[in-house]
């Protein structure tokens, strides 16, 4: 029977699917465009973005974000032309003709580190000169970028998703200072930068997410520590009052509880108690502190330091702690900064890949350009090279291949690494100096100097080419 069923099943035709039709979806948990891909409910949606904003203002996290921001702003950028120099020049001039600098636009893009994503809307203009509707330094009537405008994450109410959970737009709602209705911005008008595009979540993943638990605990420890310092206590306040007042649970009892909660050692700190006594002369009202036995059982400074290390580590910035505790070797510092540089390169590559894939082709299409190999925005070195290590390496290679020292491009690369003038710069300066001397009437004298220098160099060359006689010592 089993064989008969197997044969019957094999005889049934296999289902036929259209090769070009997407069948499944990413399974992104969303309800009416509101994404719920976070198991801690407080970190979802608009409420979660408020928490991330608060975290970004924390002194530890703020220091790490500031370091990342400033380091990435300092990285040089250039435009590679591709197969059409006109397209490359257009991109270069458009970047220089925006109402804001690229560094300021990059700061808005880097808000993706805090919230996980950064929606940017490129705003275009016709380059019709300074008197145009949107001023420009050019009068060629080409279309350029007016600005790369951030659409703040706190205003992104929900996402427009298709049947495969792919984003087709965002719904922006301004809550403060305006009565404008919600605006739907199609995805074709946006550049959505994300720290992590995994699992199909258009909101990405904040780099602060891994530091949330440490930040949450550190925030509360700081509050408890501040309360203890303000009170200057070695224990808990204890107030003794007659039992009748406690049983009555009256307004008087509530006043004594408030006194215990609000006791402070500040400029208005004081305790006022009745001096009534019982039949035996014992006071009916007393105030004291319940001692904890001297030193606190929990060292809050050590606890806060541990949370700080965890937060810095979660953001790849734990190298900032080196030297704070008189510890940390040079090799350890070099390893940690290298890890930090790798993280910066990954974020920069992600940003520029999004820009090169969507922003530049759209700009070229608006101007009627469609090169096969469009221009690309590329970044320079993120980390400055170690000149000592570079010099040692060049010396070792030179010992094996002495002729390598004669390669001009290699020498220029070494000079650029040390921020020194290259041979190209020297040639340019020499040409400018020669031009000035010619204008001053010293052209003939300059030609004579050049001729003498060429003759000296030729003589030295002939001397080097002469065969050397072997000398022997007499024994």
Q: What is the per-residue pLDDT across 130-139, written as a single tens digit (0 to 9) for each?
A: 998 999 999 9
What pLDDT, on a 0 to 100 scale, did the predictor assign at position 394? 75
Q: How many degrees, rounded to 5, is the angle at CA 350 between CA 349 and CA 352?
A: 65
What pLDDT, on a 0 to 100 scale, did the predictor assign at position 25? 86
Q: What whole-number distance in Å separates Cα of residue 192 and Cα of residue 345? A: 19
In this structure, what token pair is assigned to residue 386?
A: 């170690």
Of the chain, the end-to-end C-alpha distance in Å amounts to: 109
In this structure, what token pair is assigned to residue 221?
A: 């420890």
In this structure, what token pair is assigned to residue 226?
A: 């501040």
What stretches in the chain show pLDDT beneath 70? 1-16, 176-178, 230-235, 264-269, 291-297, 323-336, 401-409, 422-447, 449-450, 453, 457, 460-461, 463-475
Which of 77, 78, 87, 79 is closest to 372 using CA atoms? 87
In this structure, what token pair is assigned to residue 451?
A: 């001729």
Which of 215, 207, 208 is closest to 307 using CA atoms? 215
What pLDDT, on a 0 to 100 scale, did the predictor assign at position 133? 92
Length of the chain as a residue count: 475
Decide: 369 and 84 in contact? Cβ < 8 Å: yes
Decide: 202 and 119 in contact? Cβ < 8 Å: no
Angle between the N-to-C axes of helices 212-231 and 59-73, in degrees from 0 to 180, rounded to the nearest 10: 130
Q: How many degrees, rounded to 5, is the angle at CA 108 between CA 106 and CA 113?
A: 95
Longest CA–CA span in the chain (Å) reads 128
Q: What whole-number distance in Å separates Cα of residue 414 and Cα of residue 390? A: 8
To the nearest 10°, the Cα dihedral for 415, 331, 327, 321? 60
Q: What whole-number distance in Å separates Cα of residue 90 and Cα of residue 93? A: 5
pTM of this prediction exceeds 0.95: no
Residues 6+ apart with CB under 8 A from 61: 55, 208, 211, 215, 311, 315
To the nearest 10°, the Cα dihedral for 187, 191, 194, 197? 50
Q: What whole-number distance in Å separates Cα of residue 237 and Cα of residue 349? A: 58
What pLDDT, on a 0 to 100 scale, did the predictor assign at position 473? 46
Decide: 376 and 218 in contact? Cβ < 8 Å: no
Cβ neighbours, 10 Å, residue 207: 25
What pLDDT, on a 0 to 100 scale, did the predictor assign at position 143? 96
In this structure, what token pair is assigned to residue 183?
A: 């605006």
3-class secondary-structure state, position 447 = helix
What pLDDT, on a 0 to 100 scale, did the predictor assign at position 378? 93
Residues 6+ apart with CB under 8 A from 336: 318, 319, 322
Q: What whole-number distance in Å separates Cα of residue 415 and Cα of residue 401? A: 20
């Amino acid at each position: 029977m089993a064989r008969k069923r197997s044969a019957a099943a094999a005889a049934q035709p296999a289902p036929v699917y259209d090769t070009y039709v997407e069948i499944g979806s990413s399974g992104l948990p969303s309800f009416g465009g509101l994404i719920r891909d976070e198991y801690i409910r407080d970190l979802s949606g608009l409420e979660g973005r408020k928490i991330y904003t608060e975290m970004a203002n924390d002194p530890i996290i703020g220091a790490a974000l500031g370091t990342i921001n400033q380091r990435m702003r300092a990285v040089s950028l250039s435009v590679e032309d591709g197969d059409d120099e006109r397209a490359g020049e257009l991109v270069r001039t458009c970047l220089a003709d925006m109402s804001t600098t690229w560094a300021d636009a990059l700061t808005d893009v880097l808000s993706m580190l805090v919230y996980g994503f950064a929606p940017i809307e490129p705003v275009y203009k016709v380059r019709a000169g300074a008197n145009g509707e949107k001023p420009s330094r050019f009068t060629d009537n080409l279309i350029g970028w007016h600005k790369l405008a951030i659409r703040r994450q706190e205003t992104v109410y929900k996402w427009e998703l298709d049947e495969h959970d792919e984003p087709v737009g965002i719904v922006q709602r301004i809550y403060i200072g305006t009565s404008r209705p919600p605006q739907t911005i199609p995805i074709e008008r946006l550049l959505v930068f994300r720290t992590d595009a995994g699992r199909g979540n258009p909101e990405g993943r904040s780099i602060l997410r891994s530091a949330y638990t440490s930040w949450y605990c550190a925030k509360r420890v700081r509050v408890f520590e501040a309360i203890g310092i303000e009170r200057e206590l070695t224990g808990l306040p204890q107030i003794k009052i007659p039992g009748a007042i406690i049983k009555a649970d009256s307004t008087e009892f509530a006043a004594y509880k408030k006194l215990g909660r609000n006791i402070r050692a500040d400029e208005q700190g004081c305790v006022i108690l009745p001096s009534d006594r019982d039949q035996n002369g014992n006071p009916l009202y007393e105030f004291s502190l319940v001692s904890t036995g001297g030193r606190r059982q929990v060292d809050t400074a050590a606890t806060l330091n541990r949370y700080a290390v965890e937060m810095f580590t979660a953001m790849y910035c734990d190298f900032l702690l080196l030297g704070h505790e008189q510890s940390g070797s040079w090799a350890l510092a070099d390893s940690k900064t290298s890890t930090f540089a790798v993280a910066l390169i990954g974020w920069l590559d992600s940003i520029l890949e999004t820009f090169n894939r969507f922003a530049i082709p759209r700009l070229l299409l608006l101007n009627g350009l469609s090169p096969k190999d469009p221009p690309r925005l590329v970044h320079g070195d993120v980390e400055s090279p170690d000149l000592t290590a570079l010099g040692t390496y060049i010396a070792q290679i030179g010992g094996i291949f002495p002729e390598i020292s004669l390669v001009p491009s290699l020498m220029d690369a070494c000079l650029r690494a040390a921020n020194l003038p290259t041979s190209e710069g020297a040639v340019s300066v020499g040409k400018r100096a020669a031009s000035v001397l010619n204008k001053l009437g010293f052209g003939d004298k300059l030609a004579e100097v050049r001729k003498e220098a060429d003759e000296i160099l030729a003589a030295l060359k002939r001397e080097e080419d002469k065969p050397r006689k072997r000398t022997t010592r007499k024994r």
